[in-house]
Structure 1
């Protein structure tokens, strides 16, 4: 199994997942220049990370990779069984994290870090939402997560799952960007996730300054 990776990117999420599972994998750390090479474009059409190769399977998108791994190694306990109601809530938070929670964080990041090497969207699109607007947007969409974890440690049946890895991956960005300053419940949840040994192993930038 091989994971193509750049620190502090979405590729931290599948690496975190692999570390939680304690299964062997090869980590291929890329540079921006390497992602532009034709051979890598065959793995990821946009020249981005992450990419996972597992035998005959080559997939990209961090949430898809983590969901795939959780199902391939269901005995590791990072996803509820298909036959129980908790599976529905697992899907809910998994998709909520990437489709609803992450967009305002990304918009905020583009505003405060305008030189990010984003190669898919024009700059005017990445910055069309101001940082204060993105913060207000995030504050609204993060409220359901606050409600979900205010009385428990994890999102689904109080058991750590891939839903926490994907939501947590978004919230780590938000924490480091200073977007959780007025959200003590989500700050505590995020810091709890960041304290997990598997996260510390997966994120080389763990010791970077966090503006919380």
Structure 2
């Protein structure tokens, strides 16, 4: 075997795999990979595949995304994004450890998933009741009304509105992974009708949607969702 072929085989083995379903949180790490221009294999998951024992070993709940990077196998979209941004720190998608902006980067990265996303998820299950119960039990869904979820979201979105009032991005006015994770949550909110066109966050999202990497990762992520109730 030639040295050239050996090197090619070595590189093929190192290409990471992203397990993916469109319209899910898996779009976020895919968007980041496209931003960084890092080679990856997209493994499209269907319901049958997700129920297989082999898949359950990768993700205990049979969900996406999953990233397999040689000996590293991790799930949770924000964790995957944080891992990738640090692994390829030279790509500039996260502030360096010694930079003061790193603290604000962590703040928005965690705020997006722990504070901003829960009311969006509750709202989504209220207007789309046919979504699988294993994702969110019916008793949990019914605990908060559509209007309560909307009011909850409006409250937790306010700090973001203030942050982007005079900036295009969340951290030092520079596009980072925090914008990808936060933008991923807000895109759901906007598509579900939780954000008006006049909301400052709509300007923020529209700006993110113009990025070439987002367009490449988008596919049917921004497919039309027709809420089943009127607000």
**TM-score bracket, shorter-length normalisation:** over 0.9
Tell me how far apart the structure 2 counterparts of residues 144 and 183 of structure 1 sit (CA, whole Å): 17
Answer whether contact 2:183 2:208 (CA < 8 A) is retained.
yes
Residues 184 and 135 of structure 1: CA distance in aligned 2, closer, same or farther (over 3 Å): same
Give the CA deviation at 1:209. 3.3
1:86 is aligned to 2:80: no
2:110 pairs with 70, 74, 95, which one?
Answer: 95
Answer whether contact 1:2 1:27 (CA < 8 A) is retained.
yes
Partner of 2:13: none
Tell me which structure has the larger Cα radius of gyration. Answer: 2
Give the CA deviation at 1:207. 5.3
Partner of 2:21: 6
In the TM superposition, 1:57-206 aligns within 5 A as 57-181=72-196, 184-206=199-221
TM-score, scaled to structure 1:
0.96
Answer whether contact 1:175 1:210 (CA < 8 A) is retained.
no
Tell me how far apart the structure 1 counterparts of residues 25 and 163 of structure 2 sit (CA, whole Å): 23
Residues 45 and 103 of structure 1: CA distance in aligned 2, closer, same or farther (over 3 Å): same
Give CA-to-partner distance per residue, 1:134-180, whole Å, 9 cap, x none: 00000000000000001010000001011000000000000100000
Tell me how far apart the structure 1 counterparts of residues 108 and 146 of structure 2 sit (CA, whole Å): 25
Partner of 1:33: 48
Answer whether contact 2:21 2:64 (CA < 8 A) is retained.
yes
Give CA-to-partner distance per residue, 1:47-68, whole Å, 9 cap, x none: 0000000010000000000000
TM-score, scaled to structure 2:
0.88
1:53 aligned counterpart, secondary structure:
strand
2:60 aligned counterpart, secondary structure:
coil
Unaligned 5+ runs, structure 2 = 1-15, 227-231
Give the CA deviation at 1:194. 1.3
Give the CA deviation at 1:127. 2.8
- For the aligned residue pairs, the C-alpha RMSD in angstroms reads 1.3
Tell me how far apart the structure 2 counterparts of residues 206 and 9 of structure 1 sit (CA, whole Å): 7
1:45 aligned counterpart, secondary structure:
coil
Tell me how far apart the structure 2 counterparts of residues 57 and 7 of structure 1 sit (CA, whole Å): 23
